[in-house]
Amino acid sequence: MSARLTAKLAALKSQKRAGFVPFIMAGDPTLQHTAALLGELPSHGADMIELGMPFSDPMADGPTIQAAAIRSLASHTKLDQILSLVESFRSTNQDTPVILMGYYNPVFHYGVERFMQRAAACGVDALIIVDLPAEELNEALPHARANAIDLISLIAPTSLATRLDLLAQQASGFVYYIAVKGITGDKSADYQTLGADVSKIRQHIPLPVAVGFGIKTPEDVARVSACADLVVVGSRIVSECESAPESIVKRVLSCCQSLAGGIQPHGK
């Protein structure tokens, strides 16, 4: 497990609050914008940063994040450049965990062992591979563990009845509960059932629970932070990158600070 991620989760627990995790797409619209955002997000409410790796067929993502991936690929963003961004970020920030999120095809073509080694050397703490289910982790998991990178397990609402024990065998770092059935940014989370869903996950998996998908406002953040350990917001933040490139950094940081303000203390 990543020492940096472990330390951050312990600090959040001691502070009795959930952590705020913004998602941005690397290279959207340019790597220079991403570098500027990485440097400023921790001072604008980010306890961790989820950094997207663009892919041409992002099946779990709604139109907002799909468009971000297209903008990034149009700028010819490469995996090595993304890893170098993290490496540069680590020259000034050794405390904020960075979680890479993406799809398996680019990692596979890069070379799984090579990717994990390079990611660890650059300061990546965890990895979310959206289309790599628990049954197919065997190729990636040993290399992740060997390099102290957590492979974050995704839990869908449809997994609650049948897959929690399987996921518990492989999960590390934290688990990520997808609070809606469907794609990112498509609908709002069901807050009437969220608390019960998170409680059920905790009964099977003794790790912090992140909740994402469908979280759009500071009020949404407040509701999720009442029961979750981490609150992840993606589409709402990425939407700030859709126009006026000259003001993207300012808009994204303002949005993150506003959303992070919704975090409420809890009694855990």
Confidence band (pLDDT; 50, 70, 90) for 268?
A: very low
Mean pLDDT of the chain: 94
Per the annotation, the verdict on 61 as an active-site residue is yes
Q: Of 28, 40, 47, 50, which is the active-site residue? A: 50
Buried b (16+ CB within 10 A) or exposed e, 95-117: ebbbbbbbbbebbeebebeebbe
Coil vs helix vs strand at 80: helix
Amino acid symbol at 156: A
Nearest to 53 by CA among 31, 35, 87, 78: 78
The answer to whether residues 252 and 40 touch, using CB atoms and an 8 Å cutoff, is no
Confidence band (pLDDT; 50, 70, 90) for 266?
A: confident
Tell me the chain's radius of gyration from C-alpha atoms. Answer: 17
Give the mean pLDDT of 39-51: 98
Q: Cα separation of 31 and 111, whole Å?
A: 23
- The per-residue pLDDT for 182 is 58
Q: What is the pLDDT of residues 223-252, one digit of tens each?
A: 999 999 999 999 999 999 998 888 999 999
Quote the DSSP letter at residue 12: H
Q: What is the pLDDT of residues 123-146, one digit of tens each?
A: 999 999 999 988 899 899 999 999
- Asked whether residue 184 carries a pLDDT value surpassing 70, the answer given is no
- The per-residue pLDDT for 264 is 92
Q: What is the pLDDT of residues 145-179, one digit of tens each?
A: 999 999 999 999 988 988 999 999 889 999 999 98
CA distances from 43 to 126, 207, 254 (A): 21, 26, 11
Q: What is the pLDDT of residues 84-118, one digit of tens each?
A: 999 999 999 999 999 999 999 999 999 999 999 99
Per the annotation, the verdict on 50 as an active-site residue is yes
The domains found in the chain, sorted by start residue, are: 3-260 (3.20.20.70)
Q: Of 28, 47, 61, 220, which is the active-site residue? A: 61
